[in-house]
Amino acid sequence: MSSVPERSDIDAEYKWDLESIYASDEDWEAAFEDVQGRIPDLADYEGRVTESPETLLELLELEEELMRDVSKVVSYSSLRSAEDTRNQEYQALQAKAESLASEARSTASFVEPELQELSEEELSGFLESEPELREYEHYFDDVLRTKPHTRSAEVEELLAELGEVASAPSDIYGMLSNADMTFPTVENPEGEDVEISQGNFTKLLKHPDREFRRTVHEEFYDEWADVRNSVGTALKNSVKKDVKYANARRYDTAREAALDGPNVPVEVYDNLVGTVRDNLDYLHRHAELKRRALGVDQLEVWDLYMSLTGDEGPEVSYEEAKEYIVEAVAPLGEAYQSRVAEGLEDRWVDVYENRGKRSGAFSSGTYDTQPFIMMNYQDDIASMYTLAHELGHSLHSELAKDEQPWQYADYTIFVAEVASTVNETLLTHYLLENVEDDEFRTHVLDEYLERFRSTLYRQTMFADFEHQIHSISEEGGALTPDRFDELYGDLKGEFYANANVDDRIAREWMRIPHFYYNYYVYQYSTGISAAVAIVERILNGDEEAAADYRKALALGGSKYPIEVLETAGVDMASPEPIESALSVYGDYLDEAADLLDLEDE
């Protein structure tokens, strides 16, 4: 029987090195108590933020020291929890850490409202009197920019304290989907029993046996049907939370509030959705090529993950993936390439799936730790691309930490998804140009097309769904599982107009954790658009392109995201990068059709 191993069965070399944060849980407890005891020191500055330039500098330095330690405490507990969501001890540690972070944010919540009492003239005087404050100029600009949406110190403290409670819908969904739900075991065509999991579901949908794919699809979504009321309630309340918080901060909509955080114009969102909707013909062509490749009269939803080659594709071991990725990022410079290679050997990555492990993949870490990448590696091309993706995030963090002080080392997701997708795009170019095996190259081309489909189109579809459900809540409408099914099913039917969209796929919204992240997913789509433009510039011989890109990564959060991407040579305020990316998608579809002899019938 093919089954998911326990964590104890996986070799240490394939697990991330959390001991580099704290050598033991006891050390974590000591750090927790130390930080908890220092939080009241912040409160001593309440009412005194603008007392003098010297006092302001003292406060900002104290806040940095404290919050850096808080982030380490939170990071360790969160990563331990992700290793095995069934482990109640680490769930308790994470809950304690989240409470600590909430307490720290609540205690510091007076800082920005008091800063906003300064006029621009008074702030200029502070900067002239205390030159060390100039390091915080962008931070001050951001704080003053959001003055119309900042409440009194008392309200800000309350909102900060509610943060832990407000995360309940997402927390409940995460525990349900990762720890409590058990998916069926099915027999594959080889006679083996295979346990369906969140981690292997899409891989099973790439199996060449169509009847097996249908069985996996039906069994998986039937399991979700049994918890539809719980998941529907969680998502409904997550949306309500977003709306209530936006109202509390005097925004007209939750979307406006979410995008104002990183200072991204709402027009960027509408521009993305509109441009992608106007170009659904590319996606329909991709689906039609799949139908021809499979030799079927009607494409079904359980066929959508299938390769254009009609089979699962070659295995790619973790060791092979590492080698390919290191070579692929060479155009970004020797220092970047060496950093990737070192990270892969220094236990940045938690490689394989184990029972209870959080599904999906992510890159994490703090200003004072190494990066940590969670994978559920499946020995396939898709997993290799995911590893390249997460390494893009990790290198982004490393370059930003190298160049920026703590307050600017973090960056918005809007920029982050560019860094990850640049790596994917470079990997595609490298493999297509350097691997001689035609079958392997065909699968690489197919995988990149899938990345376009799932990133540019699928995430835009998600963004459309997310905006619709928030709008319904804002207008006083009811959000129920049936309503979610209806909205999502309609979108799926529009985006995949030439496939048979069944009732089960209308439940797909239930398995998407990103819907709890408050207008997050659109940034995947803008990210791939910007990434394609950056890579084209690098590979077309622009001598400054790679340096400009590294400079943009190193900016971290010291500039607004639109400005950061302008440094890399991309204007995301225009539709041009999206249109350009869609055109590249179309070119690759043509290449695949020629390579696989799938020309129009």
Give the separation between CA 412 and CA 557, rounded to whole angstroms.
7
**Mutual angle of helices 210-225 and 228-248, in 10-degree steps:** 60
Cβ-contact 202, 213 below 8 angstroms:
no
What amino acid positions are annotated as catalytic residues? 390
Average pLDDT, the chain: 94
What pLDDT score was predicted for residue 16? Answer: 98
For residue 117, being part of any structural domain is answered with: yes
CATH number for position 162: 1.20.140.70
Q: What is the pLDDT of residues 384-434, one digit of tens each?
A: 999 999 999 999 999 999 999 999 999 998 999 899 999 999 999 999 999
Task: Please name the helix (run of DSSP H) or strand (run of DSSP E) that holds residue 156, with its range, or none.
Answer: helix 153-161
3-state secondary structure of 181: coil
Instruction: Quickly state the pLDDT bin for 142 (edges 50, 70, 90).
Output: very high
Give the separation between CA 249 and CA 54, rounded to whole angstroms.
30
Instruction: Quickly state the pLDDT bin for 1 (edges 50, 70, 90).
Output: very low
The model carries a pTM of 0.83
Residues 6 or more apart whose CB falls under 8 angstroms from that of 125 comprise 53
Instruction: Quickly state the pLDDT bin for 160 (edges 50, 70, 90).
Output: confident
Residue 370 CB neighbours (<10 A): 18
Cβ-contact 389, 361 below 8 angstroms:
yes
Give the separation between CA 50 and CA 44, rounded to whole angstroms.
13
Going from the C-alpha of 557 to that of each of 99, 410, 421, 462, the distances in angstroms are 26, 6, 19, 26
Q: Is pLDDT above 70 for 600?
A: no
For residue 42, being part of any structural domain is answered with: yes
Q: CA 245, 561, 553: angle at the middle one, nearest 5?
A: 130
What pLDDT score was predicted for residue 438? Answer: 83
Q: What is the mean pLDDT of residues 158-179?
A: 89
Q: What is the pLDDT of residues 309-338, one digit of tens each?
A: 876 778 999 999 999 999 999 999 999 999
Please report, rounded to a whole number, the percentage of residues in the chain having pLDDT higher than 70.
99
Q: What is the pLDDT of residues 239-283, one digit of tens each?
A: 999 999 999 999 999 999 999 999 999 999 999 999 999 999 999
What pLDDT score was predicted for residue 2? Answer: 53
Q: How many domains does the chain have?
A: 1
For residue 81, being part of any structural domain is answered with: yes
DSSP 517-574: SSS-THHHHHHHHHHHHHHHHHHTT-TTHHHHHHHHHHTTTSS-HHHHHHHTT--TTS
Q: Is pLDDT above 60 for 88?
A: yes
| Domain containing residue 121 | 7-166
For residue 16, being part of any structural domain is answered with: yes
Task: Tell me the sheet residues that pair with 187.
Answer: 193
Cβ-contact 198, 3 below 8 angstroms:
no
DSSP 258-324: HHHTTT--HHHHHHHHHHHHTTHHHHHHHHHHHHHHHT-SSEEGGGTTS-TTSS------HHHHHHH
For residue 183, being part of any structural domain is answered with: no
For residue 600, being part of any structural domain is answered with: no
**Mutual angle of helices 413-434 and 318-328, in 10-degree steps:** 100
Q: Is pLDDT above 80 for 599?
A: no
Q: What is the mean pLDDT of residues 366-384?
A: 95
For residue 99, being part of any structural domain is answered with: yes
For residue 74, being part of any structural domain is answered with: yes
What pLDDT score was predicted for residue 533? Answer: 92
Q: What is the pLDDT of residues 62-73, one digit of tens each?
A: 999 999 999 999
Radius of gyration over every alpha carbon of the chain, rounded to an integer in angstroms: 24
Residues 6 or more apart whose CB falls under 8 angstroms from that of 260 comprise 146, 149, 251
Going from the C-alpha of 109 to that of each of 35, 137, 152, 247, 327, the distances in angstroms are 17, 19, 10, 18, 46
